[in-house]
Chain A
Amino acid sequence: MLTIEQVSENELKFIGRFDASQHDKAADELLHQKGTVTIDMEGLVYISSMGLSVLVNTYKRLNETGHTVKLKNVNSHVRDVFKYTRLDQIFELI
């Protein structure tokens, strides 16, 4: 189960597990983001390739208008997933 909280206009917080079952919900939520978005991942314990695909599609959409996706407070396991898929070269991990 993934909970997404809107912290401010340009910041979201992900809490829980981002697996395939949460794909549609997260995709809908991120579709509302217009400018550069920061996602606080302190409470995110798990992400699979289906979760990564939502983030990649969001990055692609925002990048068309010169914006990006920033990820902060990424734990060691989730950081490894970004490293192994080399998506740490696309997203800004802060």
Chain B
Amino acid sequence: MDGDDQLEMELSVEEIFMNMIRHNHSALAKQIEVTVEKKEREIALSLSDHEEVPFDITKAEGVDFEEYIKKVKSGGLGIHLVKKLMDEVKFEHRLGVSTVTIIKHI
């Protein structure tokens, strides 16, 4: 993994982490668990959080850039960046826990 890949992974983690903090109001959401798995050709990093109402970032609406640039907005770019920078983004919600997994091919 080169330097830019590492920065892209760090950036994606920050965006998902901040998104979980910003949108999750569950009383059980007291900690976010991070796991990293290195395989031969990819690095998979997962963030898990208690979430009563699952928010699947893989299904989040895309950014309307025409409108965006016209109005000079700045919100909603984080998830867009994660999808652009990572090779795969997966979401799973099981037993009240949401897990976002980002995968970077190496």
Contact flag A89-B69 (CB < 8 Å), given A84-B80, A84-B85: yes
- CB of A53, distance to nearest CB on chain B (Å): 4
Q: What are the residues of chain A within 8 A of B84 when measuring CB–CB?
A: 84
B12 to A: closest C-beta gap in Å: 10
Interface size classification for chain B:
20 to 34
| B77 partner, pick from A19, A46, A85, A89, beta carbons under 8 A | A85
Whether A77 touches B74, Cβ cut-off 8 Å, given contacts A19-B14, A85-B80, A86-B65, is no
The answer to whether A48 and B11 have CB atoms under 8 Å apart is: yes
- The CA-CA distance from A79 to B41 in the complex, in Å, is 26
Q: Which residue of B lies closest to A17 (CB)?
A: B10
User: Is A52 in contact with B69, judged by CB distance below 8 angstroms?
Assistant: no
Q: Which of A53, A56, A81, A89 contacts B11 (CB 8 A)?
A: A81
Does B61 belong to the interface (CB within 8 Å)?
no
In contact, B18 and A50 (Cβ under 8 angstroms): yes
Q: Is A8 an interface residue (CB 8 A)?
A: no
Pick from A48, A60, A80: contact of B78, CB under 8 Å? A48
- For the complex formed, measure the closest distance between the CB of B41 and the CB atoms of chain A, giving whole angstroms: 22
Contacts of A45 in B (CB 8 A): 7
Assembled-state Cα–Cα distance A52/B75 (Å): 9
Instruction: Report how far A57 CA is from B72 CA in the complex, Å.
Output: 8
* CB proximity to A under 8 Å, residues B3-19: 3-4, 7-8, 10-11, 14-15, 18
Query: Which residues 34-85 of B have a CB within 8 angstroms of A?
Result: 65, 68-69, 72-75, 77-78, 80-81, 84-85
